[in-house]
Structure 1
Amino acid sequence: MAVQAFDRRTVGLGLLALAGCAAPARTPPVMVNMAHVPPPPLLQPGDAGAALATDADMSGRVTAPVRINGQGPFDFVVDTGANRTVITSELAAQLGLPDAGPADVHGVAGVEPSNTATIALLEVDAVATRGIRAPTLSRSRLGADGLLGVDVLRGRRVTIDFLTDEFRITPSRGPGSIAATLGVSGAAASRLPTNDALTGRQIVVPARYRFGQLIIVGADVSGRPVTAFMDSGSQSTVGNAALHRAVIGTQELRAPRYVVPVLSATGQTAQGELAVLPLLRIGGLDITGLTTVFADLHIFDIWDLKSKPSLLIGIDAMRQFDAITLDYGRRQVIFTLPASSPRRRRPTS
């Protein structure tokens, strides 16, 4: 399965966190995690679920068609690392969306102000979400019409199928789901399919919430436990400085290493180091030789993870599986292993 090539001269990553200006001081900031990468050189009432054809943007991220207030469809990046849905300022103006006031945006190098807009109705096929307060950023920074965040995905079961190029979103009835709040109806969707072709290939991994995002339980790098987030909005897998020190300390990172700029969608820049992880183990699959960006980003400080080895698992690693399901109701991540390969894979380019 092909994975996009990496530009070793410049690797872009947008890592944003939105905190409403009126939020109490003790309220955790709401995270909006997005990628902004140059082209590579080489549930409401009647929520019945949806299975949609997807596309990949120039960064290899998954996009899905979205309707806003009955208009569209528009291409939104499916961003499992984003707590909030984001819309471009251009599209918000085109649709005449009401201004919802300012907000502080936490980027990789600090904080800068942003505007927000109110989306009365957002539809992903038959799945509808109402009353979204979405931050607005320019299309040149997002690289799409918007980002589909966890405020839409929460309480639901989301599958990204890399074999069929489908994005499926259905209700979840598991513990912690918010079916009543969202008006979710229909049969429970968090049961594994009884498909003989998938027998023995689906690995169910428990997860827990942190700032509204699912953290994978049991992920490790060369046997070292890591705090791992699934981030389909990021082109690259990103490790923090604590993970960098842990791996470098045993000389397990493969040379050569490259210093690269890490670009925020807010226009801020931080320095990162491009290196190759010897072994990432997630969902029953060993991924070897994964190109990873190491950067001590502002977002890790906000998550209080500066001193704990942590990893944002990007679309480059996710594409090593046939499919990945995030069940926000049951707090599970389901990995579908490749059918014709062993449980140890090396990313292809």
Structure 2
Amino acid sequence: MTKLARPLLLLPLLLPLGAVAGGRDLATQDPDMIATESMIEGTLLALGQLDTRLTVPVVVGNKGPYNFIIDTGAERTVVSRELAGSLRLNAGNPIQLTSMTGVSMVNTVVVPDLSIKSIGQLHTVIAPSLGARDLGAVGLLGIDTLSKHQVSIDFDAGTMTVRPSEKRDRTRAPRRDEIVITAKSLFGQLIVTDAYYAGTRIQVVLDTGSQVTMGNSALRKRVGRGRMKKAFPIQLTSVTGERAIADYTEVPDIRVGRLAFGTMPVAFADVAPFERFGLTNRPALLLGMDALRSFARVDIDFPNRQVRFTMPKNVRRERTTGSLIPGVEGSSPGRGY
């Protein structure tokens, strides 16, 4: 029997199926869907329209391109069983995987010569293989692919770039519309510690693979019932196909760096990644795409452990997060700089 390495963490893709009463299903990508050849010619990659997450064209050997989700919260790149079968990829050893709903054993496949055109590197990865319907796409790119690079997400332009990281210029002062935060690295993920709720420090994990922002019980207890709007249950599906229930509400007075949010939509549940990060007893958030879309641009530089948030041009206007949950308007950043 093969000895298992430490459990693999997969934060991504907590898919809201809607409120328990009257929700809507999210579209999933056809496993055979591929991007056009022109989509991978430049370093500028269009944001995928699959849902609120991001996709980029990925080539495996001389096959593809295939639309993979960019997931800054996942340790490893993942491919769907459908794509693995289509490409006849060889099986790897089973591993333990930590998803939002717990720890489970999953099969892996050997993915040869995986590449993103803008990065320009070929490498072989051992990837967990999960169902395309649960992934919401044919695959996702995790920290093992992104760790030496910078991911830049321009929400106003609707574009994303992935490029090699450069040595940080410590003499460069942030622009007035920028907030620059140095994060700490844990298992490859970036955790922002310069974040607060009403004066209490909170830990924030950046997770572009999750459509909704998750909070733990420690944060919920700190906020208290009197500071939140009435919560309602939503049903969520992890990448392994298992389901969980979370309480969805809005939390006031969240501050990340020098940016103060008026309100931030948060789904509260003590999901497995909080334990994985050692954040069970400390107030913490998994910052998903609904919150990140509050900014005009987000630059995530993994080697330099730096996150650069660019404010919208008019910070006085309300800017929602594009929440998929019916009846929830989303977050609105205040003038925090």
Q: TM-score when scaled to structure 2? A: 0.82
User: C-alpha separation between the residues in 1 aligned to 2:315 and 2:139?
Assistant: 35
Q: Distance in 2 between matches of 1:222 and 1:294?
A: 18
> 1:36 deviation in Å?
4.4
The SS at the match of 1:121 is strand
2:49 to 37, 56, 62: 56
**CA deviations over 1:190-220 (Å, ceiling 9, x no partner):** 559x9xxx94212210011011111113112
Out of 90, 114, 123, the residue aligned to residue 122 of structure 1 is 114
User: What's 2:161 paired with?
Assistant: 168
AA at the equivalent of 1:68: V
Are residue 135 (structure 1) and residue 128 (structure 2) matched? yes
What are the ranges of 5 or more consecutive residues in structure 1 without an aligned counterpart? Answer: 1-20, 43-48, 175-189
Please, which of 92, 112, 125 is the counterpart of residue 100 of structure 1? 92
Task: Report what 2:237 is aligned to.
Answer: 263
Give how far 1:228 is off.
0.3
Deviation at 1:253, TM superposition (A): 1.2
Cα 1:298–1:36 change in 2 (3 A) is: closer
Match of residue 282 from structure 1:
256
Which secondary structure does the structure 1 equivalent of 2:10 belong to?
Answer: strand
Amino acid at match of 2:227: E
Structure 2: gaps of 5 or more residues = 26-41, 323-328, 330-337
**Counterparts of residues 83-98 of structure 1 (less than 5 Å):** 83-98=75-90
Contact 1:287 1:345 in 2 (8 A): no
Q: CA–CA distance in 2 between the matches of 1:126 and 1:53? A: 12
1:223 is displaced (CA, Å) by 2.5
1:235 alignment counterpart: 211
Question: Taking structure 1 as the reference length, what is the TM-score of the superposition?
Answer: 0.79
Instruction: Count matched residues.
Output: 300
Distance 1:113 1:87, change over 3 A: same
Aligned partners of 1:153 and 1:282: how far apart in 2?
23
Match of 1:75 in 2: 67
Q: CA deviation at 1:240?
A: 0.7
Code of the residue aligned with 2:45 in structure 1: it is L
CA RMSD of superposed structures (Å): 2.6
The separation in 1 between residues aligned to 2:317 and 2:189, in whole angstroms, is: 26
Instruction: State the alpha-carbon separation in 2 of the partners of residues 32 and 300 from structure 1.
Output: 12
The answer to whether the 8 Å contact 1:34/1:147 transfers is: no
Letter in structure 1 aligned against 2:115: E
Q: Please state if 1:31 is matched with 2:9.
A: yes
SS at match of 2:222: helix
Q: Does 1:320 align with 2:301?
A: no
Equivalent position amino acid for 2:187 in 1? F
Distance 1:310 1:100 in 2: 34
- State the partner residue of 1:301: 275
Q: Find the counterpart in structure 2 of residue 11 from structure 1.
A: none
Tell me if the contact between 2:14 and 2:100 (Cα under 8 Å) persists in the aligned partners: no
What percentage of residue pairs aligned between the two structures are identical?
A: 33
CA contact (8 A) 1:52 1:125 kept: no
